[in-house]
Amino acid sequence: MRPYDVILKKRNGGKLTKEEIQYMIMGYVNGEIPDYQMSAFLMAIYFRHLDKDERAIFTEIMAKSGDMLDLSPIKGVKVDKHSTGGVGDKTTLVVAPIVASLGIPVAKMSGRALGHTGGTIDKLESIPGFKTSLSLEKFFENVNKYKIAVVGQTANLAPADKKIYALRDATATVDEISLIASSIMSKKLAGGADAFVLDVKVGSGAFMKDISSAKELASAMVEIAKSHNKTAVAVLTNMDEPLGTFAGNSLEVLEAINTLKGQGDEKFRILCLTLSAWMCHLAGLGSYEKCLELSKEALDTGKALEKFREFVKAQEGNEMVVESPEKILPISSKIVEFKASEDGYISSIDTEKVGIACNYLGAGRVKKEDNIDHSVGLEFLKKIGDKVKNGDTLVRLYVTEKSNINEAMNLLKQAYNISSSKTNSLEIILDIVK
Ligand code: URA
């Protein structure tokens, strides 16, 4: 076999065999196939796509290129949640304690902020003392004891995806559904869970800008899970505006704690309850409706809040964060306001620009090695459909002397559109794909 023949076959729309896919992926990982041939192969896939069988194989080979975590030391059905990434997405901080408080083990490996989206690990590190790096033994021990542990990715998960993703990033081949689905699911399969709840974001702040491509991505991921004898449900959720009230690390932890106390943004609460209910359902706790009731009860009775406290303590964070989040979390006291420049209704928000504005304040990274500032971020006072008057504050910016306030303000100006005609508020849950 030669790389040329496999590239030609896919370029002409042929269906690849397992041997051919394995030959290309592992040849590239081992350094036997050069960047230029792998780039041509990826571009052929970009235009010709992979069918259901090819996607399942592509995913499996990338998953098996590194460690395959064995979660069998953890008792019970392990359900993982994955978000395709958004602005203000602190969902894991609420969903994980709800689900764990209902006795379902949550063994989660999460990522850091990159691009315009945030990362759970950076958010958790806003809590003084909190350890996001545990040995595998301690990780298993915590999940068995408390039903919850959230750590940064330590194992060597899907190195083939890492290498191929970097090449896709440089060759304009990221935004192809088969490649995105295989990339995400290879890491999920290597992570070892039995079932997955996939939060597929749709809109201006998401990878998928429209509902039909989001549905296609969701179906591709659910099918890949099924081909590997795992179950998955994808929840399509709105990212045409930031999620909840805050974006930025400490501010999002504060919002998560408030939500666990029964306060806060209603749409964010609905999203957390929906994802929790699907996770519990996949773990075998009962019908979706029953699991939704149980999740609500866990939130409303404070059971999930107590689980959050236990989780913070177990990972050596300051548990006083639950009582006094404003005191314990580093939150900048310097505030600048972005105001409306006309009367009307908020008609659209370019959410990706809002995420980048947050990075200019110091909340995210442009490069992997950049340091982040946990104390900065944005507070959203108005959302789509809200009536505003000239001079009303739309966004509060929590800044430090290092923040690039001018760039952030410019982006917010470009991001917010005000119209004279009334616009409707957005639904948070758009569709379910099973
Ligand atoms: N996230 C991933 O992990 N992979 C992709 O290809 C796109 C988003």
Q: Domain spanning 79-321: which CATH class is it, in words?
A: alpha beta
Residue nearest to atom 1 of ligand 1 (CA): 184
Closest CA to 201 of 249, 161, 241: 241
Task: Report residues whose beta carbon is within 6 angstroms of any ligand 1 atom.
Answer: 165, 174, 179-180, 183-184, 207
Burial-class residue 135 by CB neighbours within 10 Å (0-12, 13-18, 19+): exposed
Ligand 1 centroid–CA 166 distance in Å is 11
Closest CA to 195 of 225, 219, 231, 220: 231
Break the chain into its structural domains and give their ranges. Answer: 3-48, 79-321, 331-419
State which H helix or E strand residue 260 sits in.
helix 249-260
- Distance, CA of 331 to CA of 356 (rounded, Å): 19
Ligand 1 centroid–CA 117 distance in Å is 12
Q: Are 348 and 240 spatial neighbours (Cβ–Cβ below 8 Å)?
A: yes
Residue nearest to atom 2 of ligand 1 (CA): 184
Closest CA to 59 of 223, 235, 212, 202: 223
Q: Which CATH number fits domain 3-48: 1.20.970.10, 3.40.50.300, 3.30.930.10, 2.60.120.260?
A: 1.20.970.10
Beta bridge partner(s), residue 361: none
Ligand 1 centroid–CA 184 distance in Å is 5
CATH architecture of 331-419: Alpha-Beta Complex (3.90)
Name the residue of 83, 183, 201 to mutate for ligand 1: max ligand atoms within 8 A of Cβ.
Answer: 183
What are the residue numbers of the active site? 82, 161, 168, 183, 187
Burial-class residue 125 by CB neighbours within 10 Å (0-12, 13-18, 19+): buried
pTM comes to: 0.95
pLDDT tens digits in sequence order for the chain, 434 residues long: 999 999 999 999 999 999 999 999 999 999 999 999 999 999 999 999 999 999 999 999 999 999 999 999 998 999 999 999 899 999 999 999 999 999 999 999 887 776 777 789 999 999 999 999 999 999 999 999 999 999 998 778 999 999 999 999 899 998 899 999 999 999 999 999 999 999 999 999 998 999 999 999 999 999 999 999 999 999 999 999 999 999 999 999 999 999 999 998 999 999 999 999 999 999 999 999 999 999 999 999 999 999 999 999 999 999 999 999 999 999 999 999 999 999 999 999 999 999 999 999 999 876 667 789 999 999 999 999 999 999 999 999 999 999 999 999 999 999 999 999 999 999 999 999 99
Closest CA to 217 of 206, 205, 204: 206
Residue nearest to atom 8 of ligand 1 (CA): 180
SS3 66: coil
Ligand 1 centroid–CA 159 distance in Å is 13
Ligand 1 centroid–CA 112 distance in Å is 13
Name the residue of 58, 174, 213 to mutate for ligand 1: max ligand atoms within 8 A of Cβ.
Answer: 174
